[in-house]
């Protein structure tokens, strides 16, 4: 995530400085060149600011996201799971939930209450598939 932030900052600096230089000089090639230089400089500064480890962190985050997404997709494709999803949804509607899973879902949803319900359903379906009722 830090890597993406650095790139976004770098691109913003690039376009902002290119626009500013163009408004002053009306020389498009010079504006783009200076913009690119300032943009790369902003990325390098942010890289140093974050300790230089964010590229590895970003790759690790990306790999874990792909794994989680592929697990979610594979479980959604399985038609046997539809009954389990119905059970989990009914538990939420009836307010008969597993408190441990409910808390874990909040963490996975990063505090978002709407996503919490979805995360709870995913966790509960995994639990039901294992035979833990």
**What is the maximal distance between C-alpha atoms in the chain?**
71
Q: How far apart are CA 57 and CA 3, in angstroms?
A: 8
pLDDT higher than 70, residue 2 = no
pLDDT at 129: 86
Q: Give per-residue pLDDT as tens, 94-131.
A: 989 889 999 999 999 898 888 899 999 999 998 888 88
Q: Which of 7-16, 31-40, 44-53, 100-109 has the highest mean pLDDT?
A: 100-109
Least confident of 3-12, 18-27, 123-132: 3-12
Q: How far apart are CA 22 and CA 34, in angstroms?
A: 10
pLDDT at 77: 53
Residues 80, 84, 87, 88, CA torsion sign: negative
Q: Band of the pLDDT at 8, cuts 50, 70, 90?
A: confident
pLDDT at 94: 93
DSSP class of 109: T
pLDDT at 26: 83
Q: How many of the other CB atoms lie within 10 Å of CB of 111?
A: 8
Q: How far apart are CA 46 and CA 70, in angstroms?
A: 32
Phi-psi region of 131 (alpha: psi -120 to 50; beta: other; left: phi over 0): left
Q: How far apart are CA 131 and CA 133, in angstroms?
A: 6
Contacts of residue 101, Cβ cutoff 8 Å, sequence gap at least 6: 120, 123, 124, 127
- The more confident residue out of 119 and 53 is 119
Chain mean pLDDT for the chain = 77
* Residue 128: both structure tokens together: 């039901």
Q: Band of the pLDDT at 28, cuts 50, 70, 90?
A: confident
Q: How far apart are CA 30 and CA 113, in angstroms?
A: 49
């Amino acid at each position: 995530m830090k890597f993406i932030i650095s790139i976004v900052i770098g691109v913003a600096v690039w376009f902002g400085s290119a626009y500013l230089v163009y408004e002053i000089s009306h020389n498009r090639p010079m504006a783009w060149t200076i913009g690119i230089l300032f943009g790369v400089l902003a990325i390098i500064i942010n890289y140093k600011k974050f300790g230089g480890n964010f590229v590895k962190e970003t790759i690790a985050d990306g790999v874990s996201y792909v794994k989680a997404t592929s697990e979610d997709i594979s479980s959604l494709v399985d038609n046997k799971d539809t009954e389990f999803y119905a059970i989990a949804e009914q538990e939420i509607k009836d307010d008969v939930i597993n408190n441990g899973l409910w808390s874990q879902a909040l963490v996975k949803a990063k505090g978002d209450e709407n996503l919490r319900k979805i995360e709870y359903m995913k966790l509960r379906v995994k639990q039901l598939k294992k035979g833990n009722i």
